Amino acid sequence: MDAEAAATQLQDPDGFNMKRLVTWVCSIGIWFLPLIWVDPTTYMVLTVAGVAFGMLLFMVASGMTVIFGLMDILNLAHGALFALGAYTGGYWVLNLLEKWGWVEYGTVMQSIWSLVLAILTGAAAGALLGIIIERVIIRGVYGDHLKQIMITMGVLYVMTEVTKIFWGANPEVVLVPMTFQGSYDIFDVIVGKFRIAAIVIGVLMFAGIQVVLLKTKIGLIVRAGVENREAVQTSGYNINRIFTGVFTAGGALAGIGGTMWCVFQQQVYPDIGLENIIFAMIVVVIGGLGSVTGSFLGALVVGLSFNYVAFLLPKLALGVNILIMVVVLIIRPWGLMGEKQGD
Amino acid sequence: MGHDLNPVQQQRLVEQKTRFSRPSFLVQVALVLLLLMVPFNPSFRVMDAAAKIMLFTVVVASYDLILGYTGLLSFAHAMFFGIGAYSVALICYHSGTPQWYHLFLATGASLILSVFLALVLAFFSLRTKAIFFAMLSLALADFFHLLGITWSDLTLGEDGVTFNLPGIFNMNWAGVRFLDIHFSARMMIYYFILLVSVILFLCLVRFVRSPVGRVLKSIRDNEQRSTALGYKTFRYQLLSIVFGSSLASLGGILYAMWLGFVDPDSALGVFSMVDYLLMVIIGGLGTLYGSIIGVAFFITTQAWLPDLLKGIAALLPPSEIIARIAERWMAFLGLLFIVAIMVFPKGVVGTIRERLSIRKGAGRVKRT
């Protein structure tokens, strides 16, 4: 790998780079490969579904990647925040609103409002649990990676059991608001309505995270705090409060992801947290640890390839995520957008 | 004598001389004798707990080798355990009437598979950052758990596999009378587990005290310095992972033999990693003997905590939420795990050793 990096450096960065061009053509071209086996209409259906699935995966992974990128904490308790968001936002709020007739047979506005309320509740629940976890548990183990992973795994374990205390151990049905049920038929390409909502919300979330981090003063302070803790503290900012804020934001993102995910799957169950932490981790590893753009790309890669493979070779669908992760780790051990670093 | 020996060799010489007269040796002998007597206790529950303590000691001690001595957090240990358990269960189940060679076949198959997977895991994750090892092993372990559930032609899915063992381990074996004591198949399996787990545990102790074990500790404490001293750190870590994982799969074989039944959640479940971590932490990281204490504590708690909680719930005024909390005894073990990491990170043996070394003074070389 070192020789390769040296070779890239030697070349003129603005000049014609054959290697980079080939890489780009290959990485875009590979997504048209399924066209050999399926007809274009089916391909379009699969692609739209794959992009929507990728967006949902991005929502699952975004909170984790923000917390990892900014605070250097591998937060496995992310799964607990996610599950709490799913249970409060997706299950509890939508069932509550259903009593007023807003969800399953509501008007367009009522449907949209019920989804928005569900997402907000999920985000609030995730943020609240995020604050508690950061203040009580993570604070004691800053800087110790092994302990962080172990202790957050413990939190995930306990929260899974607590979920079972409150909502029972069995899967529960999650209602889908009226407007998001069914699908559109655009030139024989069938597109689920909720998938479109998922794509829109996913892109909005991505844009929102990027704007906050890159364009606002808070984002500037947070990024500076990651680079140099002491310098930011000397400038008069309370770094502990800022890191609590980052963790809270990560929790809120996890809550949103949980709400959207369980409405998409139309069910929620206690192990949803563990299941999705693994999805999130695969996406984060593929994208490069801590890179938001990377995990956006990683989520798309996983979502698309999962859909294609599940259609072409249903038996392989289970292992395709791990396969992609291994392939990416062979080619680029530091992920798609991650920074190369020794440790 | 000893004039041209280095300090480590001198220390080892002293150790060898006093090997059979140290109190810790006597404690070990007493423990083995106690375990030999357990089957004569009429309560099956006690015998079950003792057998599980022995076989999980092997699993947890091998986990301690990877986590405590090598400093790598693996979430795939339960997977290796499950591979061992499933290889015995599936080979005995699908063969119909199992023979002795089926057991050897299962042992060989599980060892080959675990060594292969451990190598793959290490090659892909240790190249970059240690944190990748945790993540990749978690993903791989979850994949195998899903495989155990969904590949129902082979593994019978979530129902699990019930199987028979060959020869004197078969439950239908009539047993034998010796010195007026009736030895049943269950007792034979018990003694087999005792024998194998003592051997494996001694292997582990030998391994961490060997030169390789000492290098592993130096890598854990300061990887850069070990590299600078000329050790190929990757090879040592690889060796430790492969050795630890193989022992875990052997532990899984013992587990399957004892229960005669294997299902995906108990053998391959990712959350059983929290149990292993709890056992390692309670006993003390990087202290093999601590794993005995950790496992004994965990297994006894697991066996009697549900009853205890139900008893407490019966005393309190009847309400649904209390009944539900009492049902979820695993949550309390999880809480205990979190608290243990925060306030008791050295574990029982680690704390005792610290006290002892303070009393003896810091000048003496710390023995592990």
- Condensed to tens digits (0 to 9), the pLDDT of residues B51-68 reads 888 889 999 999 988 888
Q: How confident is the model at residue B130 (pLDDT cuts 50, 70, 90)?
A: low
Per the structure block, which two tokens stand in for B49? 């707990």
The DSSP call for residue A221 is: H
Q: Do A322 and B270 touch (CB under 8 A)?
A: no
Q: Do B341 and A151 touch (CB under 8 A)?
A: yes
pLDDT digits (tens, 9 = 90+) for B197-208: 999 998 888 888
Closest CA–CA distance from residue A165 to any residue of chain B (Å): 6
Q: Tell me the count of A-B CB pairs closer than 8 A.
A: 105
Residues 85..144 of B with a Cβ closer than 8 Å to A: which? 124-125, 127-132, 134-136, 138-140, 142-143
The backbone torsions φ and ψ at residue A63, rounded to the nearest 5 degrees and listed phi first, read: -60, -40
Distance CA A22, CA A6 (A): 18
Distance CA A314, CA A322 (A): 15
Per the structure block, which two tokens stand in for A333? 């051990």
Please indicate, yes or no, if residue A15 is contained in any of the structural domains: no
Per the structure block, which two tokens stand in for A126? 């995730």
Question: What are the distances in angstroms from CA B120 to CA B123, B137, B270?
Answer: 5, 10, 19
Q: Do A149 and B134 touch (CB under 8 A)?
A: yes
The backbone torsions φ and ψ at residue B5, rounded to the nearest 5 degrees and listed phi first, read: -100, 145
- Of B132, B135, B271, nearest to A274 by CB-CB distance is B271
pLDDT digits (tens, 9 = 90+) for B262-271: 888 888 888 8
CATH number, domain at A147?
1.10.3470
DSSP notation for B322-352: HHHHHH-HHHHHHHHHHHHHHH-TTHHHHHH
Distance CA B50, CA B53 (A): 5
Q: Can you give the pLDDT at residue B80? A: 92
Q: How confident is the model at residue A125 (pLDDT cuts 50, 70, 90)?
A: very high
Distance CA B156, CA B94 (A): 11
Distance CA A143, CA B151 (A): 41
Q: Which of B25-39, B191-205, B320-334 has the highest mean pLDDT?
A: B191-205
Domain regions of chain B by residue span? 38-269
Residue type, A235: S
DSSP notation for B163-195: ----GGGSTT---EEETTEEE-HHHHHHHHHHH
Going by C-alpha positions, the residue among A74, A71, A50 that lies closest to residue A61 is A74
**B223 Cβ under 8 Å from any chain A Cβ:** no
**A83 Cβ under 8 Å from any chain B Cβ:** no
> Higher-confidence residue: B48 or A28?
B48
Residue type, B49: A
CA A58 distance to own-chain centroid:
3
**B147 Cβ under 8 Å from any chain A Cβ:** yes
Largest Cα–Cα distance in chain B?
75
**B310 Cβ under 8 Å from any chain A Cβ:** no
Please indicate, yes or no, if residue A336 is contained in any of the structural domains: no
Contacts of A113 (CB under 8 A, 6+ apart): A102
- 8 A C-beta contact, residue B194 and residue B33: no
Q: Is the pLDDT of residue B143 over 80?
A: yes
Closest CA–CA distance from residue A324 to any residue of chain B (Å): 12
Q: Do B270 and A274 touch (CB under 8 A)?
A: yes
How large is the average pLDDT for residues A5-21? 57
Distance CA A232, CA A221 (A): 7
**A322 Cβ under 8 Å from any chain B Cβ:** yes
Per the structure block, which two tokens stand in for A192? 């689920």
Identify the domain containing residue A324 by its residue range. Answer: 39-331
- Which range is least confidently modeled, A234-243, B219-228, B314-323? B314-323
Distance CA A11, CA B316 (A): 76
How large is the average pLDDT for residues A1-28? 60
**B309 Cβ under 8 Å from any chain A Cβ:** no
Other C-beta atoms closer than 10 Å to the C-beta of A228 total 10
> Higher-confidence residue: B44 or B91?
B91
- 8 A C-beta contact, residue A89 and residue A258: yes
Residue found under tokens 């499950």: B82
Could you tell me what percent of chain A has a pLDDT over 90? 9
**B323 Cβ under 8 Å from any chain A Cβ:** no
Going by C-alpha positions, the residue among B212, B185, B249, B256 that lies closest to residue B39 is B185
Exposure class string for B115-148: b at 16+ Cβ within 10 A, else e:
bebbeebbebbbebbbbbbbbbbbbbbbbbbbbb
- 8 A C-beta contact, residue B84 and residue B251: yes
Please indicate, yes or no, if residue A69 is contained in any of the structural domains: yes
**B339 Cβ under 8 Å from any chain A Cβ:** no
Q: How confident is the model at residue A343 (pLDDT cuts 50, 70, 90)?
A: very low
B127 vs A contacts (CB less than 8 Å): 329, 333
Helix H or strand E segment including A232: helix A229-234
**A334 Cβ under 8 Å from any chain B Cβ:** yes
Residues 169..208 of B with a Cβ closer than 8 Å to A: which? none
Please indicate, yes or no, if residue A33 is contained in any of the structural domains: no
- 8 A C-beta contact, residue B88 and residue B256: yes
Please indicate, yes or no, if residue A161 is contained in any of the structural domains: yes
B274 vs A contacts (CB less than 8 Å): 153-154, 157
Mean pLDDT of the residues in chain B: 82
Question: What separation, in Å, do the N-terminal and C-terminal C-alpha atoms of chain B show?
Answer: 25
Question: The complex's ipTM?
Answer: 0.80
Question: Regarding beta strands B261-262 and B181-183, do their DSSP bridges make them parallel or antiparallel, or are they unpaired?
Answer: unpaired
Total domains in chain A come to: 1
- Cα pseudo-dihedral B286, B291, B293, B294, rounded to 10: 100
Exposure class string for A160-193: b at 16+ Cβ within 10 A, else e:
bbbbbbebeeeebebbbbbbbeeeeeeeebebbb
